[in-house]
Amino acid sequence: MEHPDTDALRAGPSRRVLITGAGGQLGAALAEVFAADDVLALTHDDWDVRFPPRISLGRPDLVLHAAAWTNVDGAEDDPQGAAEVNVGGTTHAAELGAPLVAYSTDYVFNGRKGAPYTESDGPAPLSAYGRTKLHAEAAAGESAWVVRSSWLFGPTGHNFVRTMLRLGAERDEVAVVDDQRGSPTFVAHLAAATRELVNGGAPFGIWHIAAAGDCTWAELAEAIFDEAGLDCRVRRITTAEFGAKAPRPAVSVLRSEKGAPELPHWREGLAACIALLRERATS
């Protein structure tokens, strides 16, 4: 396996780090965690990654590629559109010529293993989104850390935690899927683990980095209401009852067999995220 040139990657104010998708939930967390470097944080408006950059972006020392089409159900209707962002975008990020962190997903697996997936398990995506992300992994090239994570949430953007906080304040009961199991991962924890991976000189290749512990969406919803002190019941339903457009893996817990940086338990991530949201609401 290829090793990065660790001299060029020395952390600090002279390391030029380019972040794509900086307006997204992970991109925003990366910009905070890498703030001690010389960061160029590009939002969708700054660079539409479906196309090569219109202006020179200089020669970054490191690219953190967080831009993506993340609408899993929407990708079923427009797989070509999703591929243009996910595969085309990753190709363009890799073409910048710097070591790349490309983020991928537990949805590259079909979930039928019934046990946690490690880096050597064979992918078999069920959805159009999962297929574009698997192709994107290949497009990342040889000088890339492909970081697979799962069920991301943070204080900004679209995510399950923020949706449940809104619904829990409006309703007495919500119906939530109870037959999909994964590891809900706080973006700040994933961003910190990314820095640890890169700064630690880990070899390029696939890395599974997700929160410790696992749960179903219904269990996560209950934990959110508990943590936020919301009086809302969770009615447990099946994937079939929910009827989402895209098929999703039943068990897509990710674990590392390669000694990837370990993340705190998802409940810790949830508590930290809700504390941050409270802080922001009162400041």
Ligand X SMILES: NC(=O)c1ccc[n+]([C@@H]2O[C@H](COP(=O)([O-])OP(=O)(O)OC[C@H]3O[C@@H](n4cnc5c(N)ncnc54)[C@H](OP(=O)(O)O)[C@@H]3O)[C@@H](O)[C@H]2O)c1
Residues acting as catalytic residues:
129
Residues 96-135 vs ligand X: string with x where CB under 6 A? -------x-x---------------------------x--
CA-to-CA dists, residue 125 to 36, 96, 129, 273, angstroms = 37, 28, 8, 29
Tokens of 108: 């590259």
- For residues 43 and 189, give the distance between their C-alpha atoms in angstroms, rounded to a whole number: 21
CA 246 to chain centre: 18
Q: Is residue 66 at the binding interface for ligand X, with CB under 6 A as the rule? A: yes
Please report how close the Cβ of residue 12 comes to ligand X at its closest, in angstroms.
25
Picking from 103, 138, 9, 141, the residue whose alpha carbon sits closest to that of residue 62 is: 9
Residue among 19, 33, 39, 49 that touches ligand X (CB under 6 A): 49
Phi first, then psi: what are they for 173, rounded to 5°?
-150, 140
Stretch that binds ligand X, among 6-14, 23-31, 194-202, 238-246 (CB under 6 A): 23-31
* Residue ranges in 192-231 that form contacts with ligand X under rule CB under 6 A: none
Tokens of 241: 């009852």
Q: 48 or 121: whose CB is closer to ligand X?
A: 48
Please report how close the Cβ of residue 231 comes to ligand X at its closest, in angstroms.
27
Residue among 34, 117, 151, 225 that touches ligand X (CB under 6 A): 151
Residue 196 · residue 1 · CB < 8 Å: no
Residue among 110, 149, 194, 216 that touches ligand X (CB under 6 A): 149
Q: 91 or 105: whose CB is closer to ligand X?
A: 105
Tokens of 175: 């119906």
Please report how close the Cβ of residue 255 comes to ligand X at its closest, in angstroms.
15
Residue among 15, 18, 23, 183 that touches ligand X (CB under 6 A): 23
Picking from 99, 85, 82, 103, the residue whose alpha carbon sits closest to that of residue 47 is: 85
- Measured over the CA atoms of residue 155, residue 73, residue 130 and residue 80, the dihedral's sign is negative
By CB under 6 A, name the binding residues for ligand X.
Answer: 21, 23-27, 44, 47-50, 66-70, 85, 89, 103, 105, 133, 149-152, 157
